[in-house]
């Protein structure tokens, strides 16, 4: 059956185009070439965002976290909670003071015993304890956390601290209950009794699920659903809502006003009259602590606005602050786009807006898009480029360079004359007498249909004939020398040079598949690079530009290769390294004449073997210019003194034009 498609005018409601794999890879290319790691490049894009081909901005995590911090500041400036929970802070300070006195008394008792060994041990233990007490944080939450892990000397201080913690836990649990239903302060004895029944049923429901039984959530909600205005759909959702309230209350207690503190105390006293309810709340608190061990790690907020908040406003602000903190932590911990799929998009939309939610959704699918397009694959838990991905990067680099050349109107990339040979030029021309009869059937038939119209049979005449253009068959063998020394990175020359090398490989493989190309990286020493390794190869964290070793290795690789032989060298530094007679690299800076002489001897050997050396020198110093000119004079090759920005303009155009001339001259 013939596929049918329906088109309609864009009205703003249709689903937009998906994130294209090629535009994602193009955005990743520079960072991938710099670091040599697709995973690091993805993390950077995830942080910084991008602009898609339609010009839409995809926000990065940095922008989203800036929005989160701005919203947190707005919340803190929206009202006044009256400062920290001062009586609890005072009680903690009294506990610390009591512990200090106990530590001092233990030292005095040991010294009074006359046992010097006991006294020294006591002094050492006291020094460590006093140091820990001195280093206790000033904030309430931090002080409580540190004291929970402190080994008390004073049993009275330890008992007082445990009692204070019990009091705090009870108040937190009570506030969780208080926020379940509006108008809680006006509840009478019957309402409190019903709440006690609800708490018992909730504890039983949790116990049933832990035993693997049906908890009966639907029946529970039919009976007590009015306590939960959020109308949770599952038991997990109900418990998560309660956990958020617990966290909000814990944060809220760090900074209560005296009036709000008084209201809380009065309500707590009312609830504490029923010991059975208190027991049910304690049971629920223990269960919640086991199910949500991550709760309790957030810090209190410094609300500094002028407008007083009531309890409901304060709890809403604290719950939103907790959501923002959770979201910020999750975004900070995300190491790859796939982890972003765990973020609640509805919550992002509510807190940060539609643009942020849409951007996060697109960021989360980046890895999936690349994998489905076959550009990357996962190996041992890490992403790696596939051969298709490497070809795509090469094509992108080549397209980028030639697009810039076209804009600058530099170079002529098509030859006006064609020869007779075996390499197709993927172009055609009308047939003329004497031409080889290599018909381009597609264009020939199209000409016939254009002349006589549709219908069968299609009748051909000589005027319809178009033939394929061809070029002379020729072969060239090229070794590309890529400077990977640390100086290439310092002036931002590394990525442009590497991009040109990748583009060169892509050009030769696509346009001149019979040619030989090998790549050699060099710094303190030279070593061969496989073309497929280029996207992920990084610079050497070493100093030295060993032209001597690079030329020698290139000469050996070209031995026995057919066709015209040439070496293309990209560098930015003088020959500061060479291989000694003992076979070890010697680096000196500034360069010494011995290194230059070793390089020149290899240039002479290359010249005798018919190898042309073309040098592309980035931001050359006067000394480097002089050395390169001397090499060029010996070898009769060409030297191009340019910058990183225009390296591709010179190198690819020169190679392309000379390769075409080579084909025409055969």
Please indicate whether residue 245 or residue 645 has the higher confidence score (pLDDT).
Answer: 645
Q: What is the predicted pLDDT for the residue at 624?
A: 92
Q: What is the predicted pLDDT for the residue at 599?
A: 94
Based on the number of CB atoms within 10 Å of its own CB, is 616 exposed (0-12), middle (13-18) or buried (19 or more)? buried
**What would the 3-class secondary structure string for 584-632 be?**
CEEECCCCCHHHHHHHHHHHHHHHHCCEEEEEEEECCCHHHHHHHHHHH
Q: Give the range with max mean pLDDT: 277-286, 338-347, 413-422, 424-433.
A: 338-347
Q: What is the predicted pLDDT for the residue at 468?
A: 74
Least confident of 238-247, 306-315, 402-411: 402-411
Q: What is the predicted pLDDT for the residue at 251?
A: 63
Per-residue confidence band for 87, with pLDDT thresholds at 50, 70 and 90 = low
Q: How far is CA 248 from the centre of its chain?
A: 31
Averaged pLDDT, 111-123: 86
Please indicate whether residue 193 or residue 45 has the higher confidence score (pLDDT).
Answer: 45
- Supply 313's token pair: 């406003």
Least confident of 44-48, 268-272, 310-314: 268-272
Instruction: Supply angle C-alpha 592, 598, 599, rounded to 5.
Output: 95
Q: What is the predicted pLDDT for the residue at 192?
A: 64
Please indicate whether residue 292 or residue 322 has the higher confidence score (pLDDT).
Answer: 322
Calculate the alpha carbon distances from 126 to 93, 111, 118, 147 in Å.
Answer: 18, 12, 12, 16
Question: Between β-strands 476-483 and 564-571, what pairing exists: parallel, antiparallel or unpaired?
Answer: parallel
Per-residue confidence band for 186, with pLDDT thresholds at 50, 70 and 90 = very low
Q: What is the predicted pLDDT for the residue at 592?
A: 93
Q: What is the predicted pLDDT for the residue at 14?
A: 47
Q: What is the predicted pLDDT for the residue at 38?
A: 82
Spatial separation of the C-alpha atoms in residues 621 and 640, rounded to whole Å: 13
Per-residue confidence band for 83, with pLDDT thresholds at 50, 70 and 90 = very low
Q: What is the predicted pLDDT for the residue at 481?
A: 93
Q: What is the predicted pLDDT for the residue at 148?
A: 79
Give pTM, 2 decimals. 0.55
Please indicate whether residue 279 or residue 124 has the higher confidence score (pLDDT).
Answer: 124
Nearest to 508 by CA among 646, 391, 344: 391
Per-residue confidence band for 602, with pLDDT thresholds at 50, 70 and 90 = very high
Spatial separation of the C-alpha atoms in residues 466 and 343, rounded to whole Å: 59
Q: What is the predicted pLDDT for the residue at 229?
A: 74
User: Residue with structure tokens 């019957």?
Assistant: 190
Spatial separation of the C-alpha atoms in residues 111 and 120, rounded to whole Å: 8
Q: What is the predicted pLDDT for the residue at 587?
A: 92
Is 50 exceeded by the pLDDT of residue 506? yes
Spatial separation of the C-alpha atoms in residues 359 and 345, rounded to whole Å: 10
Q: What is the predicted pLDDT for the residue at 411?
A: 39
Domains of the chain are 21-65+326-381 (no CATH), 86-302 (no CATH), 423-471 (no CATH), 476-665 (3.40.50.410)
Least confident of 35-49, 108-122, 432-446, 502-516: 432-446
DSSP-H helix ranges across 520-592: 547-558
Averaged pLDDT, 436-444: 80
Cβ(340)–Cβ(360) under 8 Å?
Answer: yes
Is 90 exceeded by the pLDDT of residue 606? yes
Q: Give the mean pLDDT of the chain.
A: 77
Is 90 exceeded by the pLDDT of residue 557? yes
Averaged pLDDT, 40-61: 84
Is 80 exceeded by the pLDDT of residue 548? yes
Sheet holding 516-522, edge to edge: 526-529, 516-522, 476-483, 564-571, 611-618, 639-642
Averaged pLDDT, 71-93: 69
Q: What is the predicted pLDDT for the residue at 15?
A: 44
Q: Give the range with max mean pLDDT: 140-149, 404-413, 641-650.
A: 641-650
Averaged pLDDT, 598-617: 93
Is 90 exceeded by the pLDDT of residue 439? no
Count how many Cα atoms sit within 13 Å of the Cα of residue 532 in the half-sphere of its side chain. 6
Q: Give the range with max mean pLDDT: 133-147, 149-163, 275-289, 380-394.
A: 149-163
Q: What is the predicted pLDDT for the residue at 575?
A: 93
Please indicate whether residue 483 or residue 338 has the higher confidence score (pLDDT).
Answer: 483
Q: What is the predicted pLDDT for the residue at 307?
A: 67
Spatial separation of the C-alpha atoms in residues 118 and 101, rounded to whole Å: 19
Three-state DSSP state, 556 = helix
Spatial separation of the C-alpha atoms in residues 341 and 350, rounded to whole Å: 17
Averaged pLDDT, 216-232: 84
Per-residue confidence band for 93, with pLDDT thresholds at 50, 70 and 90 = confident
For the segment 406-426, what is each residue's pLDDT rounded down to a tens digit?
554 443 333 333 333 334 445
Q: What is the DSSP string of 8-55?
A: ----S-SPPPP--HHHHHHHHHHHHHHHS-HHHHHHHHHHH-EE-TTS
Averaged pLDDT, 158-165: 83
Is 80 exceeded by the pLDDT of residue 607? yes
Residues with Cβ within 8 Å of 139's Cβ and at least 6 positions away in sequence, in order, are 254, 299, 300
Is 60 exceeded by the pLDDT of residue 183? no
Please indicate whether residue 101 or residue 146 has the higher confidence score (pLDDT).
Answer: 101
Spatial separation of the C-alpha atoms in residues 228 and 221, rounded to whole Å: 9
Cβ(399)–Cβ(392) under 8 Å?
Answer: no
Q: What is the predicted pLDDT for the residue at 293?
A: 62
Is 50 exceeded by the pLDDT of residue 1? no
Please indicate whether residue 139 or residue 97 has the higher confidence score (pLDDT).
Answer: 97
- Supply 473's token pair: 């068959």
Q: What is the predicted pLDDT for the residue at 655?
A: 75
CB atoms within 10 A of CB 81: 27
Calculate the alpha carbon distances from 337 to 45, 342, 356 in Å.
Answer: 9, 10, 15
- Supply 83's token pair: 């400062």
Spatial separation of the C-alpha atoms in residues 644 and 572, rounded to whole Å: 10
Q: What is the predicted pLDDT for the residue at 134?
A: 86
Q: How far is CA 513 from the centre of its chain?
A: 36
């Amino acid at each position: 059956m013939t596929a049918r498609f329906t088109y309609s005018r864009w009205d703003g409601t249709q689903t937009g185009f998906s994130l294209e794999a090629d535009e994602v890879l193009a955005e990743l290319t520079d960072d991938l070439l710099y670091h040599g790691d697709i995973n690091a490049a993805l993390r950077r894009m995830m942080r910084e965002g991008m602009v898609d081909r339609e010009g839409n901005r995809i926000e990065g995590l940095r922008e989203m976290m800036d929005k989160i911090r701005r919203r947190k500041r707005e919340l803190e400036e929206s009202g006044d909670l009256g400062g920290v929970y001062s009586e609890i802070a005072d009680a903690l300070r009294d506990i610390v003071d009591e512990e200090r006195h106990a530590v001092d008394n233990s030292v005095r008792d040991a010294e009074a015993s006359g046992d010097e060994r006991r006294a020294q041990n006591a002094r050492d233990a006291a020094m460590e304890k006093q140091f820990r007490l001195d280093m206790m944080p000033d904030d309430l939450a931090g002080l409580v956390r540190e004291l929970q892990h402190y080994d008390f000397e004073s049993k009275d201080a330890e008992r007082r601290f445990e009692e204070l913690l019990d009091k705090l836990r009870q108040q937190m649990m009570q506030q969780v209950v208080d926020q379940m239903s509006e108008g809680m302060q006006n509840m009478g004895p019957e309402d409190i009794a019903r709440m006690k029944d609800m708490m018992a049923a909730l504890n039983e429901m949790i116990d049933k699920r832990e035993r693997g039984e049906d908890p009966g959530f639907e029946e529970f909600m039919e009976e007590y659903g009015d306590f939960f205005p959020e109308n949770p759909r599952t038991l997990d959702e109900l418990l998560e809502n309660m956990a958020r309230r617990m966290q909000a209350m814990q944060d809220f207690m760090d900074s209560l006003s005296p009036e709000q503190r008084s209201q809380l105390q009065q309500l707590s006293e009312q609830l504490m009259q029923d010991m059975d309810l208190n027991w049910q709340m304690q049971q629920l608190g223990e269960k919640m602590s086991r199910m949500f061990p991550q709760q309790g790690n957030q810090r209190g907020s410094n609300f500094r606005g002028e407008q007083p908040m009531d309890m409901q406003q304060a709890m809403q602000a604290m719950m939103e602050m907790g959501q923002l903190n959770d979201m910020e932590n999750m975004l900070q911990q995300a190491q790859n786009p796939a982890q972003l799929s765990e973020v609640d998009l509805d919550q992002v939309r509510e807190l940060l807006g539609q643009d942020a939610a849409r951007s996060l959704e697109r960021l989360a699918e980046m890895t999936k898009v690349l994998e489905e397009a076959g550009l990357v694959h996962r190996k041992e838990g890490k992403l790696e480029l596939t051969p298709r991905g490497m070809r795509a990067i090469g094509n992108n680099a080549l397209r980028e360079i030639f697009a810039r050349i076209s804009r600058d109107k530099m170079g002529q990339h098509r030859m006006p004359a064609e020869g007779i040979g075996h390499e197709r030029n993927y172009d055609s021309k009308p047939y003329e007498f004497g031409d080889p009869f290599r018909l381009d059937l597609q264009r020939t038939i199209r000409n016939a249909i254009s002349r006589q119209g549709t219908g069968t049979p299609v009748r051909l005449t000589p005027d319809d004939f178009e033939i394929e253009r061809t070029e002379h068959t020729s072969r060239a063998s090229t070794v590309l020398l890529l400077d990977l020394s640390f100086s290439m990175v310092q002036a931002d020359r590394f990525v442009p040079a590497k991009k040109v090398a990748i583009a060169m490989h892509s050009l030769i493989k696509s346009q001149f598949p019979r040619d030989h190309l090998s790549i050699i990286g060099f710094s303190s020493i030279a070593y061969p690079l496989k073309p497929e390794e280029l996207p992920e190869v990084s610079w050497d964290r070493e100093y030295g530009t060993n032209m001597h070793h690079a030329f020698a290795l290139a000469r050996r690789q070209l031995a026995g290769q057919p066709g015209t032989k040439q070496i293309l060298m990209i560098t930015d530094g003088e020959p500061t390294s060479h291989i000694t007679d003992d076979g070890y690299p010697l680096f000196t800076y500034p360069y010494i004449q011995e290194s230059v002489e070793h390089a020149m001897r290899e240039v002479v050997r290359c010249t005798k073997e018919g190898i042309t050396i073309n040098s592309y020198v980035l931001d050359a110093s006067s000394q480097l210019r002089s050395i390169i000119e001397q090499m060029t004079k010996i070898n009769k090759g060409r030297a191009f003194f340019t910058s990183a920005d225009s390296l591709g303009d010179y190198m690819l155009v020169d190679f392309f034009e000379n390769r075409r001339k080579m084909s025409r001259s055969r």
